[in-house]
Amino acid sequence: MPRSRRFSSALNRRELLLPYLLVAPALVVLLALSIYPLLYSITISLQQETPAGVVWTLGHFKRLASDNFFRTAMVHTFVFAAAALTCEFLLGLGLALLLNQQIRGRGLFRASLLVPMMLPTVVVGVVWRLMLNPNFGAINGTLKQVGINTESLTWTASPRLAFLAVIAVDVWQWTPFVFLVLLAGLQAIPQEPYEAALIDGSSRWQTFRHVTLPLLKPAILIVLLLRTMDLLRVFDQIFILTEGGPGFATEMISLYIYRAAFRFFDFGYAAAMSFVLLAVTNVVSVVYIRLLQAKA
C-alpha cells in the first residue's frame, strides 16, 4: 500500500513538473536571445571608452538629445509611418467593402493581392528600383509613351519624390494585408444588425457609420497596431531603394542606427538610439492595446 502511494505521488510530481519542463527550452532560448541582448545593449549604451578606460556615463543619451540628424530621422519615420498608414488603411478598407460580397473571381483576386505582401522585402526593393529608374524604368517609359515630359521625374534622385516613392512602395506592399484582415473582420459580422438597420430605414452611410464601423473596430485596431509597429521600424526596402538618400531625404531611424553601428562602429551610441525607438514603439502599442480593451 505505502509503496503504491509513493508511486502515485511520484507520478503526481512528474505531472506537476511537466508544464515547466515543456516551457523551459522556449524560455531559455528567449532569455538568451532576446533578454540578454537587451541587457547587453543597456550596458554598452551606458559605457564610453576614454583614455582612462571604460567609464559609466550618460554621454550617449546626452549626445542623442542634441543630435539633429537623429531628430530628423525620427521626424522622417513618423511622417512616413503616418502617411503610409493612412493610405493603406483607406485603400484597404475600400477594397474590403467592395469585395465583401459574393462576386465572380474573388478567389483569384485574393490570391493575386497576396503577391506583393509575401515578396521578400529585398525583392520589393529590386522591383521598385526597376520600375522607378529614370532612364529605362517602366513608369517613366510609360509616361513618355503617352506624351508626358519626364525630365523632372528623377524619383529616387530627388529628395521630395524619393520620400513619396518610399511611402508608395510600402502602400503597394502592405495594403493587401490591411485589406485581408478587414475583409476577415467584415465577414465575421452577423447579418442581424444590418437587417435591423434596413427596417429602421437607415441610409447606407448611417449603416456604415453605426453598424459596420463599431463592429469592425477590433479588426481595425489590430491591423493598425501591427502596421504601425512595422512602419516605425522600416528598414529593408528603403535600404535597397534609396539607402536613406538622396542626402538624408529618406533616412529613417532604423537606417540611422544601422549606420551608426555598422559603418561608424559606434555601438554604444547605436544602442542608446535603439532604446528610444523601443520606447516609442512600446508607447504606441500600449495606446492601441488600451483602445482595444476599452471597447471589448
Minimum CB–partner distance for residue 177 and other proteins (Å): 6
Chosen residue from 128, 166, 170, 251 binding other proteins by CB under 8 A: 128
Q: What secondary structure does DSSP assign to 131-159, as a single string?
A: HH-TTT-HHHHHHHHTT---TT--GGGSH
Binder among 2, 25, 147, 247 for other proteins (CB under 8 A): 25
Please, what is the minimum distance in Å from the beta carbon of residue 11 to other proteins?
Answer: 10
CA distance 174 to 181: 11
182 CB-contact burial (10 Å; exposed 0-12 / middle 13-18 / buried 19+): buried
Nearest approach, Cβ of residue 114 and other proteins (Å): 5
The correct pick among 213, 278, 283, 287 for binding other proteins (CB under 8 A) is 278
CB neighbour class for 56 (10 Å; exposed up to 12, middle 13-18, buried from 19) = exposed
**Binder of other proteins out of 87, 93, 219, 249 (CB under 8 A):** 219
Q: Is residue 78 near other proteins by the rule CB under 8 A? A: no
**Which of 1, 3, 5, 19 is in the footprint of other proteins by CB under 8 A?**
19
Set of cell numbers at residue 173? 506592399
If binding is defined by CB under 8 A, does position 274 make contact with other proteins?
A: yes
Per-position x/- string for 94-123, each x denoting binding to other proteins as judged by CB under 8 A, each - no binding: xx--xx---x-----xxxxxxxxxxxxxxx
Which positions ≥6 away from 255 have C-beta within 8 Å? Answer: 73, 235, 238, 239, 243, 244
Report the alpha-carbon angle 173-177-179, nearest 5: 115
The residue (of 197 and 238) whose beta carbon lies closer to other proteins is 238
Q: Which of 10, 29, 58, 283 binds other proteins (CB under 8 A)?
A: 29
Chain-centroid distance, C-alpha 289: 16
Alpha carbon distance 45, 37 (integer Å) = 12
**Cα–Cα distance, 216 to 208 (Å, whole number):** 10
Residue with cell 474590403: 96
Q: Among residues 75, 90, 130, 198, which is the contact residue for other proteins, using CB under 8 A?
A: 130
Contact status: 205 vs other proteins (CB under 8 A): no
Give min distance, CB of 168 to other proteins, in A. 10
User: Is 176 or 197 the residue whose CB approaches other proteins more closely?
Assistant: 176
Residue with smaller CB distance to other proteins, 130 or 196: 130
Q: What's the rounded Cα separation, in Å, for the pair 40 and 226?
A: 27
For the CB of residue 57, give the shortest distance to other proteins in the complex, in Å: 18
Using CB under 8 A, which of 1, 26, 52, 294 touches other proteins? 26
Helix or strand or coil: residue 48?
strand
